[in-house]
Amino acid sequence: MSVFGKLFGGGGKGGKGPSPQEAIQKLRETEEMLTKKQEYLEQKIDAELLTAKKNGTKNKRAALQALKRKKRYEKQLAQIDGTLSTIEFQREALENANTNTEVLKNMGLAAKAMKTAHENMDIDKVDDLMQDITEQQELANEISDAISKPIGFGEDYDEDELLAELEELEQEELDKNLLEIGGTEDVPLPSVPSNPLPKKPVGLFHAVQYIST
């Protein structure tokens, strides 16, 4: 069994492996464990370095042993750094793969739903439905036109005949006006006075008196 198989609890041949979500969770737990291990090693390195400094002049053997341990801790720390980088890369790849899987699954469901919807649609039935809608719309328009027409008892007048009749009425009115103007020739004019006009000017009083006679 591989290291990752042991880490994720995968079975042997024929065994069912963990789901992407389970693998991602395991990787996160491993990252957390290794991070704590890093912190522990960093503390041990600092402690061994301090021991080496204290015994540098007093106990050279103890100082050398402390430096050796520090080197081992530093090597382990470098290995953990590499492991963390690998795990981080794998976790991100799994997260992306899981996201893509969910996206593809949802797209597949949508495609199946669309296919089911189209299977329930008969193109001939759709055409028949659209034809029925068109016919009903035309019928509705005809009904609206019939309702909007004013009631005229079915009478239909010829516009040319109406215009001819109007011209006749206008001509009759014009002839009547001309006759009334021509009849003014028979109106009697006022008669000329028979008294002779005075030969010389008279005063205003005598003129008025003369006219009144």
Say what the pLDDT of residue 204 is: 45
Spatial neighbors of 7 by CB under 8 A, at least 6 apart, are: 26, 30
In the numeric block, which tokens belong to residue 153?
A: 């008892």
Integer Cα distance of 91 and 103 in angstroms:
18
Residue 73 pLDDT greater than 50, yes or no: yes
Say what the pLDDT of residue 87 is: 94
Higher pLDDT, 18 or 43: 43
Q: Where are the domains of the chain?
A: 21-117
Report the pLDDT averaged over residues 150-168: 72
Say what the pLDDT of residue 188 is: 56
Say what the pLDDT of residue 205 is: 46
Report the pLDDT averaged over residues 13-30: 82
8, 94 contact by CB (below 8 A): no
Q: Give the chain's length.
A: 213
Say what the pLDDT of residue 159 is: 81
Q: What is the pTM of this model?
A: 0.45
Q: In the structure, what pLDDT confidence band is assigned to residue 9 with cuts at 50, 70 and 90?
A: low
Integer Cα distance of 104 and 111 in angstroms:
10
27, 91 contact by CB (below 8 A): yes
Report the pLDDT averaged over residues 24-28: 92
In the numeric block, which tokens belong to residue 168?
A: 């006749």
Spatial neighbors of 38 by CB under 8 A, at least 6 apart, are: 77, 80, 81, 84
Residue 40 pLDDT greater than 90, yes or no: yes
- Closest by Cα among 71, 79, 83, 72 to 32: 83
Each residue of 164-212: pLDDT tens digit? Answer: 888 888 888 888 888 877 655 555 555 655 665 555 554 544 544 544 5
Report the pLDDT averaged over residues 149-161: 66
Q: In the structure, what pLDDT confidence band is assigned to residue 38 with cuts at 50, 70 and 90?
A: very high
CATH architecture of the domain with residue range 21-117 = Orthogonal Bundle (1.10)
Each residue of 76-134: pLDDT tens digit? Answer: 999 999 999 999 999 999 999 888 988 998 999 998 888 888 877 777 787 888 888 99
The alpha carbons of the chain give a radius of gyration, in whole angstroms, of: 62
Higher pLDDT, 68 or 155: 68
Q: How many CB atoms lie within 10 A of CB 23?
A: 22
